[in-house]
Structure 1
């Protein structure tokens, strides 16, 4: 994968993290952790947020390996205590883990001094955190998204130093907006507390033993959301996720040894195996630099130079080629209107091209050798002919086979995305695989 060279003035007081499910790392060795961290560094991610469940017997080994790798590579890590996966954390367990690992040079410190700590849910245990913070000097930015922001910011006397939202997906057939982010910003502003904004590329899960089987709209989500991040300019950004294979929003590599969840949760098929999402890291150095730019908003973007590139993503089969697998579009448990999953997704190849200019540029999408000329439906905020990301899509058109997206200028190829799983009418366990391929 090419590394983009983006010459921009960036701010040191903005960071981007990636959410790592430690429960999916039990079989990883030191070399696997090192590889993950090198890939994250190449994507200019600042740290891994290590999601750890309270009763996971593999935490000790996994954390030891993670910190060993991080120290070797000078990468950073911090804890995100999961209060849902296997029950809430006892305060003394949290304090003990922070006492052991926070002094480590690889533990991410806010402003270089206070150990950064987050959660996945747990607002009902907010009262535990004043004592934990007193013992650890933690900078505390929890995800308490099950409580509304105005309530969450005042829990336990306002113990949180900021809030993280897990609301990274649109609930319907419309595109993601920043309305939810605005609610967090409004709640946090009076006390000048920090906001950690989420970004995710996709969502599909079918894990019957966990009672999970739904899809949220992912078409255009990844690139559009990074544009929203550049406009909102939150203090922190967290990518959901690096390795959550069971919800299909991973951007890290698919490791066969880490896919035991599918069998354990009774999945009809292993819907992450062979489904690379590497393409979603391709433009991250640009997106992250754009977010971190000092004193310039998204409309005033100045790019000194980029390596032009194109990324693409698509589902591996037409929506109606296979039975739905019982998957719903949206989730009734969250109060959302349930629709057929095919109502939320298009049978299209989506692409995003990072260009110095679109002047003289042509995009072609080949599916099984059938070539279609595409265009750009979305352009940088500064308009056509300017540096930035240009986005578009081309329908499957009934074609199957290997996918190749080519960007050419004046007839000369400048970027290509290929090598992903072919589009076919093959079913996975007699059901549709609503996951995507990103190249």
Structure 2
């Protein structure tokens, strides 16, 4: 309806219904006369005074209508059914069609040959109808989309609930804890280890899940801490062999880290001949990690041992050894000055939880500087003229076993320090630890044995496995010798967001029940993001037990790896990441933050979600 007539018709189209009682207004013969006094016509024609007739499809004409001059302008004109003429705009005939005209053609001709006013009045409703249809077609899908995907859109507004603009959060990684300049040092291969406490065996003494998890995370070997308090050497040696055998079954590596602070049930400390026997026992094991055919061994010690490594241990070995004793010294130069006397290939520096982040970075720099120099000739089978430095990396520190202390470094001790270590380029990187739950330094899964043994203990139930997930891009950069951590979709990087926090306020309880350095702890939620694009929206929501929102915080983060902090709010914590209408990381919820601990006393440990 409403289409212009074609240039010519040769026949009546089939399938067109007869309109019977509908009056049409056919084109008139140019000999007819018509006089119009209707307002707005703007023209005067002549038209026969013969009363109009209706066209009857049966072939006969209806009786003439009574003359009604008040409506003769809009009434149909006489129609001669055998003389239907098509004309162009000049009036010249083009095609003569004998027989009744097609109904839809008659309507089109009348519609487009009417006056401008009639055209406007007829087109206006059609235009309004089309506009309405178009508005519905566009508006309904948008409304349905907004209704069906409310979470992403709600979390990507430009303003917070209080109307303040959502800002890009400050990245803790933007301010280096140490020197921003990278050391000019080339060392390969760069290996990654995890410190494993043998005195805390997994459920059913099944090491397979831990080994598989370490392999999947990109760890090269376990540094097995042999020792502890009130140990039974015979039982512990059997456990050590079980562990070595499991590593060999998985094609994984291990090496012994003698705990020089160990004591037996009778209070005796480990003796140098015991250390030598252990080294000889496992140096040839298929799982033993070797550096250029020299078996790697290490130690944990808080002070100097009462015996000398070279004279009392190494001389009693029947194999070459790549020895890196542990040290808690804060002076790298002083440590490396002992290398020749100890017969050491280098040193393993431990975390100094009592130092602030910048002091810790200075300690790392001192070890890197002396390692970089050529003042010391290496011992212990390095064969390449370079001393080695094994640097530690811990996610958190809190202990309430006898001593009660918390870390002085807060979130800076983990990822900010990890980036600083990329610039210092240690030869080996050791995660401390995989499973030392008593000091809250564990990267590995929660041990269900401990949870069953002490369900209310601070180390028995708080998951840390997210810390290990955060390290994947850092491990990649470390192996390549890069100092920047980037998102690499070609390396199958997946966008993710984590958060970690303590379960109750630092000022819980009285001063006497709080740990050392409790006043340094911050009541914050630390958020770690690893995303592919800038301006990714992070939404952190706290809800009470009834599900009522207590506080919601929104912030934008830039692409790559970031660490930001958010204010605390009591209740269950839920975090998600969105970008535009897309949900980048689905919402995940962690345990509640409370005013007071719901377990056995003060808890300075963190949970990772």
**Structure 2 length normalisation: TM-score?**
0.60
The structure-2 alpha-carbon separation of the partners of 1:248 and 1:291, relative to structure 1 and needing over 3 Å to count, comes to same
Q: CA–CA distance in 1 between the matches of 2:330 and 2:314? A: 21
> Structure 2 residue aligned with 1:56, among 221, 231, 235?
231
The structure-2 alpha-carbon separation of the partners of 1:349 and 1:417, relative to structure 1 and needing over 3 Å to count, comes to farther
Tell me, yes or no, if the aligned pair for 1:276 and 1:420 is still in contact at 8 Å.
no
Q: CA–CA distance in 2 between the matches of 1:223 and 1:260? A: 31
Q: CA–CA distance in 2 between the matches of 1:357 and 1:133? A: 53
Q: Residue 365 of structure 1 aligns with which residue?
A: 540
Tell me, yes or no, if the aligned pair for 1:169 and 1:176 is still in contact at 8 Å.
no
Q: CA–CA distance in 2 between the matches of 1:196 and 1:91? A: 22
Q: Residue 167 of structure 1 aligns with which residue?
A: 351
Q: CA–CA distance in 1 between the matches of 2:463 and 2:509? A: 21
> Structure 2 residue aligned with 1:34, among 201, 208, 211?
208
Q: CA–CA distance in 1 between the matches of 2:591 and 2:239? A: 31
The structure-2 alpha-carbon separation of the partners of 1:29 and 1:375, relative to structure 1 and needing over 3 Å to count, comes to same
Residue ranges of structure 1 left out of the alignment (5+ in a row)? 1-9, 264-268, 331-340, 377-383
SS at match of 1:328: coil
Q: Residue 194 of structure 1 aligns with which residue?
A: 388
The structure-2 alpha-carbon separation of the partners of 1:293 and 1:285, relative to structure 1 and needing over 3 Å to count, comes to same
The structure-2 alpha-carbon separation of the partners of 1:260 and 1:194, relative to structure 1 and needing over 3 Å to count, comes to farther
* Superposed displacement of residue 365, structure 1: 0.8
* Superposed displacement of residue 62, structure 1: 1.8
Q: CA–CA distance in 1 between the matches of 2:274 and 2:355? A: 36
Q: Residue 16 of structure 1 aligns with which residue?
A: 192
Q: Residue 334 of structure 2 aligns with which residue?
A: 151
The structure-2 alpha-carbon separation of the partners of 1:53 and 1:365, relative to structure 1 and needing over 3 Å to count, comes to same
> Structure 1 residue aligned with 2:405, among 185, 206, 214?
214
> Structure 2 residue aligned with 1:110, among 288, 291, 299?
291
Q: Residue 128 of structure 1 aligns with which residue?
A: 309
Residue ranges of structure 2 left out of the alignment (5+ in a row)? 1-185, 377-385, 544-548
Q: Residue 275 of structure 1 aligns with which residue?
A: 462
Tell me, yes or no, if the aligned pair for 2:404 and 2:516 is still in contact at 8 Å.
no
Q: CA–CA distance in 2 between the matches of 1:261 and 1:184? A: 40
Q: How many residues align?
A: 394
> Structure 2 residue aligned with 1:289, among 452, 476, 490?
476
Q: CA–CA distance in 2 between the matches of 1:374 and 1:145? A: 40
Residue 140 in structure 1 maps to residue 323 in structure 2: yes
**Structure 1 length normalisation: TM-score?**
0.81
Q: Deviations over 1:299-318 (max 9, x none)?
A: 89977442111122100112
Higher relative contact order (CA 8 A, sep 6+): 1
Pair member with larger Rg: 2
Q: CA–CA distance in 1 between the matches of 2:440 and 2:394? A: 10
Tell me, yes or no, if the aligned pair for 2:487 and 2:531 is still in contact at 8 Å.
no
Residue 66 in structure 1 maps to residue 243 in structure 2: yes
The structure-2 alpha-carbon separation of the partners of 1:153 and 1:89, relative to structure 1 and needing over 3 Å to count, comes to farther
Q: CA–CA distance in 1 between the matches of 2:270 and 2:600? A: 39
Tell me, yes or no, if the aligned pair for 1:81 and 1:119 is still in contact at 8 Å.
yes
Q: Deviations over 1:83-141 (max 9, x none)?
A: 11326432221222122212111111123x11111111163345233453342311001
Written as runs of structure 1 = structure 2, the 5 A alignment for 1:350-429 is 350-358=526-534, 360-368=535-543, 369=549, 370-376=551-557, 388-396=560-568, 399-416=569-586, 418-428=588-598
Tell me, yes or no, if the aligned pair for 1:16 and 1:46 is still in contact at 8 Å.
yes
The structure-2 alpha-carbon separation of the partners of 1:299 and 1:371, relative to structure 1 and needing over 3 Å to count, comes to closer
Q: Residue 281 of structure 2 aligns with which residue?
A: 100
* RMSD of aligned alpha carbons: 2.8
SS at match of 1:351: strand
